[in-house]
Amino acid sequence: MRIEIVKDYEAMSKRAAYIIASQIVIKPDCVLGLPTGSTPMGVYGELVKMYQEGIISFSQVTAINLDEYYGLDKDNEQSYNFFMREHLFKHVDIKEENIHVPDGKAVDVEAECRRYDNIIKKVGGIDLQLLGIGVNGHIGFNEPGEYFEPLTHLVELAEETIKANSRFFPSIEDVPTRAISIGIKGILGAKKILLMANGEKKAEAIYQMIKGKVTPQLPASVLQLHPDVIVLIDERAAALLRE
């Protein structure tokens, strides 16, 4: 793991955007694994600016989203499909057929999960996987548990996750309790991983991810096994690393 500590959210977003832009410049038809949440919002804003300035184009890029709430239609404003369109896709020249997000309304969830894993295989795997991290150490919606789920699967969201994500909903009762998420094998299958975190509320998870044992109780710790991970964090998220 290569740890990069930057001053604040803005510096983190800019640096992450440079790394993603470099990937696109080096391989214009690359496959990007993309997350949602507060963490990557700034990065997406920076990428849109770079696109508008003519520095990068998404015309050959394929996007594979990490996860989606189960039960939400893609046009629902709380869905991750909607989030990605609002924050990135509708502002750049990515082709519709190259956008992939799990279908939160799939009737046959198992078939949807297999379809999603097949897409990842068909596009040749993910070149660069961008990740946030949950306060409980989750990556994607791989929640703490007894074992690592390798493949795309339906997840029962952890209480901490529902609580953390309730800030985006009118009330905690409105937060979906399930989601479809790429599994740990899917994430580790990416050639390169860029995990970002900011703020003191992520400091403990970051500390455990880097210094703790590899355990499904803290899913992000599995990244210790990947050969090419950049951990890009702000000073607050890095607070416990210095002690």
Task: Give alpha helix (H) positions in the chain.
Answer: 9-26, 41-52, 80-87, 109-122, 159-165, 184-188, 203-211
Annotation marks residue 138 as catalytic: yes
SS3 33: strand
Among positions 42, 104, 134, 189, the unique one binding ligand PGA when judged by CB under 6 A: 134
Place of tokens 């596009």: 123
User: According to the binding rule CB under 6 A, does residue 137 interact with ligand PGA?
Assistant: no
Identity of the residue, 138 or 153, whose beta carbon is nearer to ligand PGA in the bound complex: 138
Question: Least distance from C-beta 38 to ligand PGA, angstroms?
Answer: 4
Separation between Cα atoms, residue 38 and residue 75, nearest integer Å: 20
Count of residues touching ligand PGA (by CB under 6 A): 7
The amino acid present at 224, given as its one-letter code, is Q
The residue among 69, 7, 74, 14 whose CA lies nearest residue 44 is 14
Among positions 50, 101, 133, 182, the unique one binding ligand PGA when judged by CB under 6 A: 133
How would you list the strands of the sheet with 153-156, edge to edge?
A: 67-69, 178-181, 153-156
CB under 6 A: which stretch of 12-20, 32-40, 77-85, 106-114 binds ligand PGA? Answer: 32-40
Annotation marks residue 160 as catalytic: no
Question: Least distance from C-beta 135 to ligand PGA, angstroms?
Answer: 7
Identity of the residue, 67 or 98, whose beta carbon is nearer to ligand PGA in the bound complex: 67
* Chain-centre distance for alpha carbon 241: 23
Question: Least distance from C-beta 71 to ligand PGA, angstroms?
Answer: 18
Beta strands 67-69 and 178-181, pairing class: antiparallel
Annotation marks residue 136 as catalytic: yes
Q: Which of 138, 149, 165, 235 is catalytic?
A: 138
Q: Which of 98, 136, 142, 198 is catalytic?
A: 136
Task: Give alpha helix (H) positions in 144-218.
Answer: 159-165, 184-188, 203-211
Query: What is the Rg, in whole angstroms, of the alpha carbon atoms belonging to the chain?
Result: 17
Question: Least distance from C-beta 80 to ligand PGA, angstroms?
Answer: 11
Among positions 33, 102, 104, 132, the unique one binding ligand PGA when judged by CB under 6 A: 132
**E strand residue ranges, 7-127:** 31-34, 62-65, 67-69, 99-100
Active site amino acids: 67, 136, 138, 143
**Residue ranges that bind ligand PGA, judged by CB under 6 A:** 37-39, 132-134, 138
